[in-house]
């Protein structure tokens, strides 16, 4: 009996046996492969998880037409091109998304991550799984941190009905989370992180002061450079040795208000005394 005939067999167990027998084959007639891909889940899922017979164009069309469980199986694939990961991120539900981010073979490109962050910002379990990935880009890490912090702030406000109290607490927690995240980044990643924070309006004077107090000096220099448009070398020179008027000029240029200048001056002098710039 031909494989195509077996694929049409009314007995599901027979089709399952065929799917398992040929799922690792590298050359299958396209009609047969498509038939198996659109069969019941018990037939389609094992086949879709491992088969290598489909082109990227095939996958683009398949993701639109296969079942939800079949998409979950595709999200588990060890061979995962960027285009397929993006299609799953764009079309799959939260279970598909969670499976995708748990799959170490799935590429977490910027566009894949941005799609997931936009579509599933309210599904905290998806973001929690995403946060466990060790291969996220620096700006994605920052965006993810800010998304989770925003969700935490909303939850606190609803739970305690005291937004005036909970918002500053959550903002402080957000600042601590950001500084913890950037603490181990390279200079290149710090620039990307600072640019992301700045574009989101999160590179605030309060965060800068927290960075200074926490002695996150590399991040502080990069942040001041991104906001002011001056070079990192210029910023470092001002922080290291410039007079008060020059320091105040840089701080005012990045949005630090006069009531906060004393706090910045105190911390800068303390760092200079320790010769840590």
Q: Average pLDDT for residues 92-115, to the nearest whole number?
A: 96
User: What pLDDT score does 49 carry?
Assistant: 94
Percent of the chain surpassing pLDDT 70: 84
Taking 90 as the threshold, does the pLDDT of residue 221 lie above it?
A: yes
Residue ranges of alpha helices (H) inside 76-137 are: 82-91, 94-102, 110-119, 124-131
Taking 60 as the threshold, does the pLDDT of residue 146 lie above it?
A: yes
User: What pLDDT score does 226 carry?
Assistant: 96
Q: Average pLDDT for residues 250-262, to the nearest whole number?
A: 94
Q: Average pLDDT for residues 178-207, to the nearest whole number?
A: 91
The tokens 């309210």 sit on which residue? 122
Taking 80 as the threshold, does the pLDDT of residue 150 lie above it?
A: no
Q: Where exactly are the structural domains of the chain?
A: 137-277
pTM confidence score = 0.69
Percent of the chain surpassing pLDDT 90: 57
Distance between CA atoms of residues 197 and 191, nearest Å? 10
* Contact in structure between 240 and 274 (CB atoms under 8 Å): no
* Whole-number average pLDDT of the chain: 86
Q: Average pLDDT for residues 3-22, to the nearest whole number?
A: 58
Would you say how long the chain is, in residues?
Answer: 277
Q: Average pLDDT for residues 149-172, to the nearest whole number?
A: 62
pLDDT one-digit tens code per residue, 244-253: 999 999 999 9
Residue 23 is classified by DSSP as: T
pLDDT one-digit tens code per residue, 14-60: 667 767 766 777 778 888 889 889 998 988 999 999 999 999 999 99
Q: How many CB atoms sit inside 10 A of residue 252's CB?
A: 12
Distance between CA atoms of residues 92 and 73, nearest Å? 11
Taking 70 as the threshold, does the pLDDT of residue 135 lie above it?
A: yes
């Amino acid at each position: 009996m031909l494989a195509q005939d077996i694929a049409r067999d009314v007995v599901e167990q027979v089709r399952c046996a065929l799917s398992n027998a040929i799922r690792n084959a590298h050359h299958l007639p396209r009609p047969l492969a498509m038939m198996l891909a659109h069969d019941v889940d018990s037939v389609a899922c094992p086949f879709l998880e491992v088969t290598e017979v489909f082109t990227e164009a095939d996958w683009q069309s398949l993701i639109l037409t296969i079942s939800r469980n079949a998409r979950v199986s595709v999200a588990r694939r060890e061979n995962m091109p960027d285009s397929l990961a993006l299609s799953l991120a764009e079309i799959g539900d939260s279970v598909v998304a969670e499976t995708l981010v748990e799959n170490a073979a799935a590429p977490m490109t910027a566009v894949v991550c941005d799609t997931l962050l936009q579509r599933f910002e309210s599904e905290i379990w998806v973001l929690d799984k995403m946060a466990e990935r060790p291969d996220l880009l620096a700006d994605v890490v920052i965006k993810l941190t800010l998304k989770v912090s925003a969700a935490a702030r909303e939850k606190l406000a609803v739970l305690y009905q005291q937004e005036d109290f909970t918002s500053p607490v959550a903002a402080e927690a957000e600042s601590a989370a950001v500084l913890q995240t950037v603490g181990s980044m390279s200079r290149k990643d710090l620039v990307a992180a600072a640019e992301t924070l700045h574009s989101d309006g999160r590179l605030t004077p309060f965060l800068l002061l927290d960075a200074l107090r926490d002695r996150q000096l590399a991040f502080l220099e990069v942040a001041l450079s991104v906001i002011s448009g001056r070079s990192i070398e210029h910023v470092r020179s001002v922080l290291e040795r410039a007079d008060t008027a020059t320091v105040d000029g840089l701080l005012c240029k990045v949005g630090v208000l006069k009531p906060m200048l004393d706090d910045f001056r105190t911390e800068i002098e303390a760092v200079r005394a320790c010769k840590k710039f």
